[in-house]
């Protein structure tokens, strides 16, 4: 969302309630890798046939054996035949199952008077939903895992409030599933981070409350000038009460350290903030990144030891060109690489806005860019745009639009199974 002149309303404490792949064109969207009459079967080597035989014989299906096609922008139905309702979402893989969490958007879209100047339409908050899948295509609805609360419109999870971009991570030490989300007032002035926990991935999640992150703490890279209060210095303005947190994401590194990336300082600057070992609070160490670049919709992932960021500009529900960046550490320095999207409609991220990058197990493409095609005047009819994320020879993320595409098993997995290692 685009915000510039909003009043500070938050406080810092918990709230009351608590080497590049071969071109995909050759492999996706033009044939069904496991379907009938599929030309890919011809000339298949013994390890491939062994793998396919094993996959069809045992247990639940996996991402690698999906026979389904992804059709970006089309209504995507769950296993009951209802449109999937999980917007601004993220996907967690846990014990071989994918969990897709997102904003439930139902009912009438309306434009609060306070948001008329910037087109901030909304629907009443109806919960965070969860779907499960083993092949990333067929999703079973698990229901609302974080429910709205009735009776007190001042509470974070009241229907009149904003709850956006939920992301869930698993804490290996506490064995808790931890959800962070953007909590806001209807006019997006509160700009807070909310946290909920569950002992099981499909919930229900217990809401712990919301706060402005990093109250009373300067970012590690704050200059002397940054610390001087000034009318336009939102970092210093919010020092005592905590920093604004709107669009956000979570990233867990291989060492188990988790980071919260959030649009702050009225949105022009993003922060990356370390979480406590239980993932429930900021650990008190953070940095300003993409200073003055006005980024939102952050998605962070790691590939071959490098950290990647994909975000959008700030134009409310209207799409804009995505941006990507690379770094050797979550702390940066982040080097911007421009728009990862190429081809027609790349300047609008194919009429969508990113929300997550999913690393896929045992399939190609290894990464999927997940985005929302927002319908500003009927938010419940917003669609999903899932696209393969590739890399150029120079290591830049590349996203091309596909009318339809499918996952393929990796050659690495096929060889591992053929050699009797059983994959990972």
Residue numbers of the site for ligand DGJ (CB under 6 A)?
1, 88, 120, 164-165, 247, 296-297, 316-317, 353
Strands 282-289 and 306-312, bridge-based pairing: unpaired
CB 156 within 8 A of CB 210: yes
Least distance to ligand DGJ, CB of residue 35, Å:
36
Please state the closest distance from residue 182 (CB atom) to ligand DGJ, in A. 7
Residues in contact with 126: Cβ distance below 8 Å, sequence separation at least 6, in sequence order: 104, 105, 106, 107, 144, 148, 159
CA pair distance 211, 14, nearest whole angstrom? 5
Q: How far is the CB of 301 from ligand DGJ (least distance, A)?
A: 18
In whole angstroms, the minimum distance from the beta carbon of 87 to ligand DGJ comes to 9
Nearer to ligand DGJ, 264 or 353 (CB): 353
Please, which residue, 24 or 181, has the CB nearer to ligand DGJ?
Answer: 181
Shortest separation between residue 276's beta carbon and ligand DGJ, angstroms: 25
Nearer to ligand DGJ, 165 or 271 (CB): 165
Output the CA–CA distances (angstroms, integers) from residue 84 to 110, 162, 357, in the order listed: 21, 20, 18
> Which one, 3 or 288, has the nearer CB to ligand DGJ?
3
CB of 115 vs ligand DGJ, minimal distance in Å: 8
Residue 223: what are its φ and ψ, rounded to 5°? Answer: -85, 170
Q: CA–CA separation, 263 vs 168, rounded Å?
A: 18
Spatial contact of 18 and 392, defined as CB atoms under 8 Å apart: no
Please, where are the H alpha helices in 229-383?
Answer: 234-237
Helices and strands (H, E) in the chain, number of each type: 3, 23
CA-based max dimension of the chain = 69
Q: Determine the distance from the C-alpha atom of residue 176 to the mean position of all C-alpha atoms in its chain, rounded to a whole number.
A: 19
Please report how close the Cβ of residue 244 comes to ligand DGJ at its closest, in angstroms. Answer: 13
Contact 311, 295 (CB under 8 A): yes
Within its chain, how far is the Cα of 396 from the centroid? 19
* Helix or strand holding residue 54 (H, E): helix 46-57
Residue number, 349 or 410, with CB nearest to ligand DGJ: 349
Residue 166 or 365: the one with the smaller Cβ distance to ligand DGJ is 166
d(CA 412, CA 189): 49
Based on CB atoms, which residue is closest to ligand DGJ, 63 or 84?
84
CA pseudo-torsion sign 223, 225, 228, 231: negative
Length of the chain: 424
Nearest residue to ligand DGJ by CB is: 1
Residue 115 or 233: which CB sits closer to ligand DGJ? 115
Q: Residue 164 Cβ, how far from ligand DGJ at the closest point, in Å?
A: 5
Compute how many other C-beta atoms are within 10 angstroms of the C-beta atom of residue 137.
Answer: 17
List beta partners, residue 311: 323
Q: How far is the CB of 297 from ligand DGJ (least distance, A)?
A: 5
Decide whether 296 or 362 has the Cβ nearer to ligand DGJ.
296
Q: How far is the CB of 316 from ligand DGJ (least distance, A)?
A: 4
Nearer of residues 9 and 97 to ligand DGJ, judged by Cβ? 9
Q: Are 79 and 138 in contact (CB under 8 A)?
A: yes
């Amino acid at each position: 969302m685009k915000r510039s002149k909003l009043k500070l309303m938050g406080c810092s404490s918990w709230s009351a309630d608590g080497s590049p792949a071969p071109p995909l064109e050759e492999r996706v969207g033009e044939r069904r890798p496991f379907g009938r009459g599929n030309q890919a079967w011809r000339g298949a080597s013994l390890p491939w046939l062994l793998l396919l035989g094993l996959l069809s014989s045992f247990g639940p299906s996996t991402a690698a054996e999906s026979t389904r096609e992804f059709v970006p922008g089309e209504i995507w139905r769950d296993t009951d035949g209802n449109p999937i309702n999980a917007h601004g979402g993220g996907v967690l893989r846990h014990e071989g199952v994918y969990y897709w969490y997102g904003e439930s958007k139902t009912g009438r879209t309306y434009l609060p008077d306070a948001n008329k100047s910037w087109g901030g339409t909304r629907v009443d908050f109806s919960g965070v939903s969860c779907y499960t899948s083993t092949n990333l295509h067929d999703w079973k609805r698990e229901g609302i895992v974080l429910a709205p609360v009735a009776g007190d419109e001042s509470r974070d999870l009241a229907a009149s409030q904003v709850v956006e971009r939920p992301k869930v991570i698993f804490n290996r030490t506490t064995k808790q599933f931890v959800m962070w989300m953007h909590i806001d007032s209807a006019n997006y002035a509160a700009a807070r981070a909310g946290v909920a926990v569950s002992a099981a991935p499909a919930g229900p999640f217990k809401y712990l409350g919301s706060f402005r992150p990093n109250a009373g703490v300067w970012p590690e890279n704050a200059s002397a000038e940054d610390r001087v209060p000034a009318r336009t210095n939102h970092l210093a303005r919010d020092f005592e009460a905590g920093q604004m947190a709107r669009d956000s994401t979570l990233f867990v590194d291989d060492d188990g350290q988790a980071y919260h990336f959030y649009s702050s300082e009225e949105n022009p600057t993003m922060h990356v903030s370390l979480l406590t070992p239980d993932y429930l609070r900021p650990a008190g160490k953070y940095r300003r990144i993409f200073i003055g670049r006005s980024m939102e919709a952050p998605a962070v992932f790691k590939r071959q030891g490098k950290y990647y960021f994909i975000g959008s500009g700030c134009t409310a529900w209207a799409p804009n060109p995505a941006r990507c960046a690379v770094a050797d550490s979550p702390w940066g320095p982040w080097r911007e690489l421009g728009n990862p999207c190429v081809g027609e409609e790349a300047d609008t991220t194919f009429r969508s806005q990113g929300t997550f990058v999913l690393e896929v197990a045992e399939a190609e493409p290894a990464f999927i860019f997940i985005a929302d095609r927002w319908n500003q005047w009927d938010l419940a009819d917003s669609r999903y745009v899932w696209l393969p994320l590739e890399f150029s020879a120079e290591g830049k993320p590349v996203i091309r639009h596909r009318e339809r595409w499918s996952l393929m098993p990796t050659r690495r997995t096929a060889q591992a199974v053929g050699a009797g290692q059983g994959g990972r």
